[in-house]
Chain A
Amino acid sequence: MGYHLRKVAFYLAALWAAVTLNFVIPRLLPGNPVDILMAKLQQRGGSVDPAARQAYETLLGTGGRESFAQEYLAYLGSLLRGDLGVSVSAFPAKVSDVIGASLPWTVVLVGLATLISFALGIGLGALVGWKRGTWLDSLVPATTMLAAVPYFWLALILVALLSSGLGWFPLNGGYDVVLDPGWSPEFLGSALYHGILPALTIVVSSVGGWLLGMRNMMVSAMSEDYVLTARAKGLTGSRVMIRYAARNAVLPSVAGFAISLGFVVSGSIVTEQVFSYPGIGSKLLQAVQNNDYALMQGIFLVITVAVLGANLVVDLLYGLIDARTRDRSTVS
């Protein structure tokens, strides 16, 4: 029990630190929301009248700023009440509404893509490790190269090839704009169709990491005595590979996977940008570009909580699976 309490206390402290950083970092940005709003409106033929600036200051309530400490206390207070504030860039929408509308898109797209990438990488990694020294080894440099290519470049190439060139996939967007979002089969089909290419780019660019990790663990697991014993007992090759070697080799990857699930929430800003995808990454970009402190804080908070949560789960699970991580007295 002491172990779990210690862990939970540690995570609470980490959460407080993260929340405080969320508050401080956006405020280090140069500029203020009103000037940026004015500059943006001017770009689109808006008024440059000084009266307009005063009106926006009044509207957004950025005229007289309170002291830093007062703002911080107010921020902590409203966080405890679950109130994330009002977004300036989507004024007067609430931050929680903005996040709520965009989060599902990211979670489904990046989540599924991460899952597929993990499953594919582990499967191929186990196979490649098992059959090392054969032509399958060339999969390692091939997928690593795809992972090393800058992601946006890969994505743009695929868009140019598969969308612009061949016309198999839509250029951008999360769904066909003539449809009403909802649970209708047309809409779900459209969302799925629009998600294939972004998901494909994520899978292609991340599968190499999983594959490499799994293959290396596989190779070292194969030299373990229990694999030799299993072979000596005359078990079939596939049984030895899956039940003995791969099962042990996959453990570190599972931990990595749990952590990467935490990062799913932060989305993939570049993916969403390249494909005009309506997810949380594009909202974060919008917040940063508009000095929208409340929205930035809200998104950072969601990301922080997700990452910390995933780590906590992994930590607790590890304590359960492996007694060595639980006991401080063991020196290994």
Chain B
Amino acid sequence: MFLHKRLCSLGLAVVVAATAACSGSGGTSRSRDTLVVYTGQAGDYQLNFNPYAPTQIEGPGTIYEPLFFFNIAKDQPPKPMLGTEFGWNPDGTELSVTLRNDVSWSDGEKFTAEDVKFTLDMVAKTPAVNKTGFKGTTTAVDDTHVVVKFPEPSYMDGPQVLGQLWIMPEHIWKNYATPATEVNPNPVGTGPFQLGDFKAQSFTLKANPKYWGGEPAVKQVRYLSLSGNQAGVDALKAGSIDWQTGPVPDIKDVEKNYPGYKVVTLPLNQVSLFTCSNAQLGCQGAQTDPAVRQAIYHGMNRTQINSLAFQNTGSEMSPGFTLQPRDTALLSSKLTDRMAPMNADVAKAAELLTSAGYAKGPDGIYAKDGKPLALTVKVVAGWTDYITALETLSQQLLQIGIKITPQQLSWNEWADARGRGQFELLIDSVEQGPAPDPYYTYSYFFSTATTAPVGEAANPNFARFSSPVVDAALAELKKTDRGNPARQQYYDTIQVELEKSMPYIPVLTGGIPNEYNDKAFTGWPTKDDLYAFPAVWKRPDASQVYAKLKPAGS
């Protein structure tokens, strides 16, 4: 300790006051109204506050706001942001939005319908920023009303337009000839925060005193860059970050190991074995046989995988790919298993394989036409939870006579194999869209429109799944407004079809753990009050959290 004190008083360390090491020497740089977050940024930040750039570092929700906030964590109506209400015409080709009248940009200019029109037009005519395939034409009726016309019924584009297009100030952005490559060093937005200072290792957002919803109680949000997950855990241990998303060792004892911190784990990604399922599109291997996929599905002991690989943060998953428990209301009663069984059913798996023409060989592995049931599963090297899951699974599947071999690849190689369909099995997760609705998951991962033959890049229907029944149901869903009870029959059709074909073999719904400083700040989203998805990298959800947090004791 003596040397510690001496170092702190040496000239070397005049400025270490801010580090935890010497905080005893009177450092005040981290006041209680500054929230420090770690979004998983590894390496330096490259200045880019253009919310439409894939390399943007912050902006959506915090600096720039959408018209409405769609909470994908919970099935609830969209929360009004810059818009106050919206409605569709009867055939779903015209969307009318009423805007807030009391909003101004952080440079003092008033926000009007012209800004909304400018933003939507900019997106529609700039392919490089049109991440949602937006094809509408926008008219500003008056200062607070806009109408968006679509060429076809587009109920399902609603959440994209209303919740994923960040409204930009026309008076500034009309001067930018190429909005896609603008790095926007001085962002002017309507949001609860403004850019504070920017440095390559860290930047801050400061509260917008003129925010229409009232100035946030958190006066400053500091974003840190660290070298990766381990550095994140270390920083959490040292108490130098207040919020991070991702697993930490020994997650069930977070409150004990990191005093003052709490953890909330929410299901989001449906972890599955992706199979190259479609022989017609060029897939090769035993997994193109639905019976093999079904057998793997039944041969899995999900309870064991959950405890060995995921620290029990996973939860049950439905073979119909509705996100549970969020989509409970949509869960089809026509499914054989409403939830994938948590324990292995060896007899069922054996029966499936036998009736598909497989016979058990002397080594205990099933075979057909002299070819043993041996498959490789590709996984990214370093994704330790998935690797453990696969090691466990390969032991379990030996019991039902299927041999799987995990193969670890670099990220680049894995992503390439996944896109081109050059795999038998791989482990990854099926993800969610812009609104709490499985429609988006279905249209992304299960539609013929989003796949491609093996050898060409598909995105994101990597399984090469193609079913006229699912495609027809998706087309009907696209024509029906969300909330209409007529949608359920199509959801039923899709779920039954997915359970039958199983192009993605359900494993578990992966929980996303979030560790947050509950002692210094109050108002975090909890399982009982899920006002936003509580992941620090989830935009615009994080801005909802920042705006709601309050320094403890104030």
Which residues of chain A have a CB within 8 Å of any CB of chain B?
29-32, 35-39, 41-42, 44-56, 58-59, 89-93, 98, 101-102, 163-164, 166-181, 185-187, 189-190, 192-193, 196, 273-276, 278, 282-283, 285-286, 288-289, 291
Contacts and interface: CB of A to CB of B under 8 A. Distances in A.
Nearest to B412: A31
Interface stretch (B147-155, B199-207, B272-280, B302-310): B199-207
B231 A32 contact: no
B204 to A, nearest CB: 9
Contacts of B127: 54-55, 58
Given A30-B416, A48-B444, A176-B18, A278 B411 contact: no
A92 B128 CA distance: 13
Contacts of B469: none
Contacts of B450: 50
A50 B459 contact: yes
Interface of B: 3-4, 7, 11-16, 18-22, 29, 39-40, 42-44, 46-48, 53-55, 127-134, 160, 164, 180-181, 183, 197, 199-202, 222, 224-227, 231, 234-235, 237-238, 268, 410-413, 415-419, 431, 433-434, 444-445, 449-450, 457, 459-460, 533, 535, 537-539
5 contacts: A55-B127, A92-B48, A176-B18, A190-B15, A276-B43
Contact of B234 (A102, A164, A283): A164
A172 B41 CA distance: 14
Given A39-B411, A49-B444, A175 B21 contact: no
Nearest to A46: B54
Contacts of B201: 173-175, 177, 278
A36 B457 CA distance: 12
Contacts of B47: 93
Nearest to A274: B227
Given A178-B18, A186-B14, A32 B416 contact: yes
B415 A36 contact: yes
A176 B234 contact: no
A176 B19 contact: yes
Contacts, number: 202
B13 A193 contact: yes
Contacts of A192: 12
Nearest to A167: B21
B132 A98 contact: no
A98 B55 CA distance: 14
Contacts of A283: 43-44
A173 B226 CA distance: 7
A16 to B, nearest CB: 28
Contact of A180 (B4, B20, B180, B197): B197
B131 A55 contact: yes
Given A35-B459, A44-B537, A177-B224, A167 B235 contact: no
A296 to B, nearest CB: 12
